[in-house]
Chain A
């Protein structure tokens, strides 16, 4: 038996999973249209490479990965591009984003796919390139481009953690995927292990999913996978958060702002492993995913839904009931309300809950905080949520940062247990955005000040140079006058041209001295190699920043 570790706190909300996990994954009907956002992943938005009116095939690239951190977007079925414009997307802000609208032609005709019998024949960079081109991103919710998480070198990463915990109530998409497609998930895991040079693969599944655990264990045995363990972990929210699962399985605590790979662990969602495998083995880009439809519907279940499927068309297949107010994407703890019921399913859509007043009653009026610290008792990041609340409420942002506001993973456990019904997480989101805004403002002000100072110094320098040039000229002229008679006896045939040359030479020397006096900045006059190095460092930094964000519980 493997020793499991614990993380602090956690809660046991009603799981509400049995409604949707009793029926197998169903294929979803072809929708009337697909609205596919070009920005479904962390990083740069994909660049549209099709035109309105163009006919596309299923799996054809419609948005090209742009820049270092980005991912491709594909046509989920064959059909005609109706529009490329801004539409509402599956984001709570309700801010429209660039989308490609595709009207299916009903043929569902695939583009030529490049399958690969044996991925071990491919180089690591080829594999990563293929994953990027296939639009494979983290399906646990963070949607971070997977190729960027599969860089490593030997002896760096010991453990690959596969996250099948699925701790959020209501969601069962990973559960069903593991039950039905365990072998494919494990193939994907093998590939990831090779890319990361990881020794062992630990697959964490919460013990409220015995069928999935059994299916995965059977697949490990059947596939002859070595050093691959399917581990039942205790059901406790947010045990499926990457940091929490890594802690439970390995005992390692990955602090905020630290990459788990620096501590020898990398973590992927089981769905991501599955999609990565389909992409390499069968050349299928990420154009569909398993989505749990649950809540106020007659038949909650999981669908394999095309990316871009309007949510209401998908929910209709589970028979939406009267009283549905709106849709929540994700679970009840960390899910986000949708700005409209028609927004398209995206790669991050693991679950759609049709919400009603009965399922999620309106929040009660909050009482003042009575410092009972039930929030601190359940906080998996071991923060003092009550302190963060006071600081956030008072806009005491520095203090909030001192008390580790940015270690908060917004799991909502504190709000869940608060007897005063204070929407704590909302306060933390507010404080974080205030700090970001403040820092951005500070940056802009700094940049403006630098620009201003640079301009001032340039004007100053130019003035000085002019004056010095003038002085040099006069001095040279005077020297020439003074020198001439003295030299005259020695060099009677002194050419007036000599004086002129002397003047010019003096001026040039002065200018050189001037130039030397103004020290160049260390970022100027770089060799191309240096510039490349800097670019590389910047790219890595961007990746680290994104990875730090990539730790949201599933």
Chain B
């Protein structure tokens, strides 16, 4: 047997083994899907096949009632605008405060910036723990202590945001080109000046895009937290849905407002990122 033959056999063996692994993984995933859906269907209070027939009933009912409301529909949108603004405020304040916290964590937790080495692991673990807290838990606890108000939701979302954005920010910080910082250091720039002129210009565009993405996520999260008593659009939704039939027009108005605001934020963030990219290209 020549060396080439042996090589060919090796390659074929490797290939066969890979195919086996791939097939194994696919079978495993398939088993999870089939078994999981079967199990989930058993645990559910309604069954899938019966539900499938009714799937369009509820959306249909909402649309029909909104259609029946006709000319009053824009008035409904206007009536729920304060609730939407409250939800947007919760998300915006939480993103700003959480973002500021995240920046502190990110600078302390970046291995390449050497701000205070003992703090690097502390800051990273702290971010991990804050990220792991589902907003729901913090919100429920704070609602119990502070009463029903937007503030508990805001704090809960900000808490999670500080951890989640902090991780993304610190990854950005670790990927910067340190030559700019070293150059500034060589001409005698202070630590603050090195950060201001060497690091910030490199990281801000990425920070901005993560920040806007997080804002969109937080709007969704704040809307959901309304269901447990945090105020805003979620609280209104729980009310109108609890009333059942007849309030479909109000539910539809709330859905429209929520979807519209998420769409607008999405457009705004991509526009802002394009603007920043254009300024970068000119500079």
**Are A and B bound to each other?**
no
Interface, chain A (partner B; CB < 8 A): none
Interface, chain B (partner A; CB < 8 A): none
